[in-house]
Amino acid sequence: MNNFEEICSLIGKDKATMNETVLLNHSKDESDHEAVEPDIVVFPESKEDVVKIVQYANKNQIPVVPFGAGSGLEGQAIPVHKGISVNFERMNRIVEVRADDLVVIVQPGITHMQLNEQLKKHGLFFPVDPGADATIGGMASTNASGTLTVRYGGMRNQILNLETVLADGRIIQTGSLAKKSSSGYHLNGLFVGSEGTLGLFTEISLKLHGIPENIVAARCFFKTVRDSVDAAAAILTAGIPIARIELVDSRSIKAVNDYEGTDYPEEPTLFLEFHGNESGNKEDIDLIKAIAEEAGCLEFLFETDSLKRATLWKARHGMNYALRHGSPGLASLTTDVCVPISTLPDNVEFADSQLDALGLKGGIVGHVGDGNFHVMILFDPASHEQIAKAKELEHQIVEFALKSGGTCTGEHGVGIGKRQFQRQEHGDALDVMIDIKKLLDPNNILNPGKVLPAGIEQKI
């Protein structure tokens, strides 16, 4: 029997395919990294299926690449060394809502929007909101975050336990259902963000939060991008527990006005949100308005109406699509640096001016409350000159961030595109990471070619 037949005999032939269209759909994500088709796509329905697939792959040294919604921005789901793509769409159940514990246990294939839809009736929500409707498994794999992370934390802060299948087929529980623990080594933290290179998740336990009694959104715009980031830094150091504070530059505002039909002033803008009780929010907003005005805010507008609030956040989440939509035929490369807040104005201003200086299209948006911002660099994929300029700008932005004490990726993960910066960012700590990879995946079957720098494969 060949690999496909053997896998079919192990898990059932309705759970594996070599259909060309399916292979094509598992060859890429939302990045512009080169597509590579897997040899086989499997659709496990249980952890037992996952164990069988991984054990077979390990025995036969075949790469195993987990696949969620395919919405990644760094090529994590692309099977660069071919092999088996493991699509978790049939493992998308809520296993248990433990409302009294503010905990939910899910399978990895559920998306964050599907999850929140089910949580509403409990008065609870899950706060990690990347732009795309990613799966919880994918979000755990890249340590995703989003606009609410400044208040609630990213994936690593929400995860209590990961049921994980290791390269040799053992199933481990990386944590417990306790809200905190000092027992043993913190495997939760190690496996979150490991991008399928250390194990495959089959069940995920998450913290939940009560839907706030009162939510107010606001937007305020500025003359320069520097003013807007200075204002954000001032708001943060005032110690006010803001729920969202997002930067959108004038290029992105223009793109979203064109795409969504909004009429936001086309200036550097902060989108804000406050979660709390009514009187507390009122007091916080008065203070923040004063700080923003002091920092040069031209106008401060509220969106108390829930529809307008929804429009605002839909616009923000759709920024990526709006920018691409406005430039058909162009490819994109998205940076994701995260830097100490005090260095954010310099970092953003540098990116802003270089985008113009290099004559590239694009836009800047950012979770500025965390010091995390994205430069979407658009380029003509047929122009060697533009490709070179886009890559040069990416390098410059990452260099600036690392010199500021920051990181090359705040939330998108390393995948393929950020491997080149791993040695520079982590120094000798990278050797510890490589040793951990070798320890847990000696045959290098788990998502090979990701996270660790190119050239490491041979050593593993």
Which residues within the stretch 231-250 sit at the binding site for its own copies (CB under 8 A)? 233, 236-241
Site for its own copies in 177-206 (CB under 8 A): 177-190, 192-194, 198
Q: 365 has which bridge partners?
A: 248, 374
At 190, list the tokens. Answer: 């190690």
**What is the C-alpha to C-alpha distance for residues 139 and 129, in angstroms, rounded to an integer?**
9
At 281, list the tokens. Answer: 């929010």
Q: How far is the CB of 85 from its own copies (least distance, A)?
A: 22
Closer residue to its own copies, CB minimum distance, 105 or 364: 105
Site for its own copies in 82-101 (CB under 8 A): 98-101
170 binds its own copies (CB under 8 A): yes
Closer residue to its own copies, CB minimum distance, 317 or 450: 450
Q: How far is the CB of 322 from its own copies (least distance, A)?
A: 24
End-to-end Cα separation, the chain, in angstroms: 29
106 binds its own copies (CB under 8 A): no
298 binds its own copies (CB under 8 A): no
Closer residue to its own copies, CB minimum distance, 112 or 437: 437
**What is the C-alpha to C-alpha distance for residues 340 and 42, in angstroms, rounded to an integer?**
42
Identity (one letter) of the amino acid at 321? Y
433 binds its own copies (CB under 8 A): yes
Strands 84-87 and 103-106, by their bridges, are unpaired
Closer residue to its own copies, CB minimum distance, 85 or 422: 422
Q: How far is the CB of 154 from its own copies (least distance, A)?
A: 5
Closer residue to its own copies, CB minimum distance, 52 or 151: 151
**What is the C-alpha to C-alpha distance for residues 8 and 4, in angstroms, rounded to an integer?**
6
| Non-local CB neighbours of 221 within 8 Å, separated by 6+ positions | 228, 264, 265, 267, 268, 269, 270, 297, 298, 299
Q: How far is the CB of 455 from its own copies (least distance, A)?
A: 16
Binding-residue pattern over the window 117 to 156 for its own copies, x denoting contact by CB under 8 A: ------x------------------xxxx---x---xx-x
Q: How far is the CB of 395 from its own copies (least distance, A)?
A: 15
Q: Say if residues 246 and 366 touch (Cβ distance below 8 Å).
A: yes
**What is the C-alpha to C-alpha distance for residues 249 and 365, in angstroms, rounded to an integer?**
6
Residue appearing with tokens 């956040």: 313
58 binds its own copies (CB under 8 A): no
Binding-residue pattern over the window 347 to 386 for its own copies, x denoting contact by CB under 8 A: -----------------------xxx--------------
